[in-house]
Copies of this chain bind each other. A is one copy, B any other.
């Protein structure tokens, strides 16, 4: 038996897999048990990127070096602990541990799901999940869509469909240059992936024309008009309007009714970037924030944001499902009666990916295990917590919020008495916090000023953790 054969035999040996699998599960369970402020005072042990990179040099070679269970403790210790109640930073979510086990099954089976035969179970699950999402948006069976690898790719997919629908000629075949210059109206507060998508698909970054926002970071009806005129003034024909539900920086929900009215009046495709906030559809208390979504042409929903799913899993849903076939092909409506419509199950026609992971599986099994009300309860709890956090700061008096939170994102700053450089102060606080690691928070710029920023995305974070956060900020300042 050669060395290769020996390693191969071991790699696919069921008992070896079972043994190592148990060890990995044990290490993760123990890690989870210790993800508390008492047991683990640091959410993140910050290290310089260069030295971090160097420390992993030479860790593999021609032959076997280290077994995974022996590497895992170091991996865990040096990672960002998203399970920790004091992880209150970016919108990347604490993952449901069960969903990660779904991910294990998915990666073990590795059923590429862009072609039905390769991943029949996952394709069927995704079919049902998309219908469920469409139903929550108030749509019927005419709606359809796909799951894709993240919100940036989701927004890109929707804008490709909008480009196709709005073009006068065959833009897929002939290129963007065959059209008069086009424009997409986007919120001044849109996620960077939206502007980027405009550049990627060849319209140019300048084609993403900003709609100004009001003091609560919502696009204003006057703003729609102004952006439209600006685009036309530059010789561009607007083809789509992109609304936030909610925005990334402050978690503000645009008025989708107003956006839908404007889009209807001007014949624009309305796309709603619900990457972060579409999850509120599950909350009886907060679903009103998405009123008007049913009048959009497309929206995206990242289950790896407000549904506790490990990345990546983004639903891209179209009110008129047949339009989802046009994102990656020329307009070919004659096909729908015959071919593509029957091929809903071969997602490759409709996603950027040709090999697609079993992303639906982990959402499906999580919904089966916990139920939709659990996820609704989660959104409600997190959005409530953000409001409680804002109230806490109002009552404390030495903090200000950029805006009353609408979702689970809170932007705020510490008003240290006598401090003349408040922007510099927030930066120093954030840096000190990163290095100390007691909490993980981020920062942003709004109205030309610097703000600390939290996303309350970990269901184990409590108001007591946030009280401790304010105390820590005062102490670091």
Q: A328 is contacted by which of B24, B26, B200 (Cβ under 8 Å)? A: B200
Per-position contact with B for A368-410: 1 when CB-CB < 8 Å, else 0? 1111111001100100000000000000000000000000000
Q: Is A240 an interface residue (CB 8 A)?
A: no
Q: Assess the A368–B71 pair: CB atoms within 8 A.
A: yes
Per-position contact with B for A103-127: 1 when CB-CB < 8 Å, else 0? 1111111111001111111111101
Can you report 25 residue pairs joining A to B where beta carbons are below 8 Å apart? A3-B374, A4-B374, A4-B378, A7-B371, A8-B378, A12-B459, A17-B28, A21-B25, A24-B105, A53-B345, A60-B371, A64-B374, A68-B98, A75-B109, A80-B119, A81-B109, A90-B118, A95-B109, A150-B353, A150-B354, A152-B353, A173-B199, A173-B206, A175-B181, A201-B202
Neighbouring B residues of A355 by C-beta, 8 Å: 91-92, 150-151, 302, 304, 311-312
Per-position contact with B for A17-35: 1 when CB-CB < 8 Å, else 0? 1101110111011101100
A344 to chain B, nearest CB (A): 8
Known A95-B107, A156-B200, A174-B204; further 13 A-B contacts with Cβ < 8 A = A8-B377, A8-B460, A21-B101, A28-B105, A44-B117, A56-B124, A62-B373, A80-B120, A95-B110, A101-B104, A112-B311, A149-B149, A172-B204
Neighbouring B residues of A62 by C-beta, 8 Å: 371-373
Within 8 A of B (CB), among A313-354: 328, 330, 344-345, 352-354
Q: A110 is contacted by which of B67, B94, B203 (Cβ under 8 Å)? A: B94
Q: Assess the B59–A364 pair: CB atoms within 8 A.
A: yes
Q: Is A15 an interface residue (CB 8 A)?
A: yes
Given A79-B120, A80-B119, A124-B52, the answer on whether A200 and B29 have CB atoms closer than 8 Å is no
| In the bound complex, CA of A192 to CA of B329 (Å) | 12
Neighbouring B residues of A71 by C-beta, 8 Å: 365, 368
Neighbouring B residues of A214 by C-beta, 8 Å: none
Q: Is A76 an interface residue (CB 8 A)?
A: yes
Q: Assess the A92–B118 pair: CB atoms within 8 A.
A: yes
Q: Is A244 an interface residue (CB 8 A)?
A: no
Q: Is A448 an interface residue (CB 8 A)?
A: no
Q: A103 is contacted by which of B47, B104, B123, B365 (Cβ under 8 Å)? A: B104
A33 to chain B, nearest CB (A): 4
Q: Assess the A22–B20 pair: CB atoms within 8 A.
A: no
| In the bound complex, CA of A94 to CA of B107 (Å) | 10
Q: Which residue of B lies closest to A328 (CB)?
A: B196
| In the bound complex, CA of A66 to CA of B371 (Å) | 9
Q: Which residue of B lies closest to A371 (CB)?
A: B63
Q: Is A96 an interface residue (CB 8 A)?
A: yes
Per-position contact with B for A170-191: 1 when CB-CB < 8 Å, else 0? 0111111111010000000001
Given A149-B150, A368-B66, A369-B66, the answer on whether A193 and B102 have CB atoms closer than 8 Å is no
Q: Is A357 an interface residue (CB 8 A)?
A: yes
Question: How many residues of chain A get a CB closer than 8 Å to chain B's CBs?
Answer: 152
Per-position contact with B for A242-269: 1 when CB-CB < 8 Å, else 0? 0000000000000000000000000000
A256 to chain B, nearest CB (A): 23
| In the bound complex, CA of A434 to CA of B201 (Å) | 38
Q: A49 is contacted by which of B99, B123, B205 (Cβ under 8 Å)? A: B123
Neighbouring B residues of A150 by C-beta, 8 Å: 149, 353-356
Q: Which of the listed residues A8, A60, A381 has the most CB atoms from chain B within 10 Å of its own CB?
A: A60
Q: Assess the B80–A118 pair: CB atoms within 8 A.
A: yes
Q: Is A61 an interface residue (CB 8 A)?
A: yes
Q: Is A464 an interface residue (CB 8 A)?
A: no
Neighbouring B residues of A72 by C-beta, 8 Å: 105
| In the bound complex, CA of A200 to CA of B171 (Å) | 10
| In the bound complex, CA of A115 to CA of B118 (Å) | 33
| In the bound complex, CA of A8 to CA of B373 (Å) | 12
A332 to chain B, nearest CB (A): 12
Q: Is A281 an interface residue (CB 8 A)?
A: no
Q: Which residue of B lies closest to A93 (CB)?
A: B110
